[in-house]
């Protein structure tokens, strides 16, 4: 599995909590895995980070679907 990291510049430096209660630090670090783009997010009440795709599906760091 190939991973690339990058930073989104939209809203950089601000932490926001979206309607799902997920904190998106600085509007997230962009991660590309096998050509698909994800944003790193943190769910309130959880210490670990998750990945969110463009359809707002949430995955753990092993790409197991954990929520929508």
Domain that includes residue 42, residue range:
3-67
Band of pLDDT at residue 66, cut at 50, 70 and 90: very high
Phi/psi region, residue 16 (left: phi>0; alpha: psi -120 to 50; beta: rest), is beta
Band of pLDDT at residue 6, cut at 50, 70 and 90: low
Residues paired with residue 32 on neighbouring β-strands, in sequence order: 4, 37
Structurally, the chain folds into a number of domains equal to 1
Q: Report the pLDDT averaged over residues 17-40.
A: 72
Which DSSP helix (H) or strand (E) runs through 29? strand 29-33
Q: Report the pLDDT averaged over residues 15-24.
A: 48
Whether 24 has a pLDDT exceeding 50, the answer reads no
Whether 36 has a pLDDT exceeding 70, the answer reads yes
With contact defined as beta carbons under 8 Å apart, do 52 and 66 qualify? Answer: no
With contact defined as beta carbons under 8 Å apart, do 39 and 30 qualify? Answer: yes
């Amino acid at each position: 599995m190939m991973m690339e990291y990058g930073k989104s510049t939209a809203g950089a430096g601000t932490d926001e909590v979206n309607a799902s209660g997920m904190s998106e630090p600085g509007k997230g670090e962009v991660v590309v895995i096998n050509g698909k783009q994800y944003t790193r997010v943190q769910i309130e009440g959880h210490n670990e980070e998750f990945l969110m795709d463009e359809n707002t599906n949430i995955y753990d760091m092993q790409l197991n679907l954990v929520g929508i």
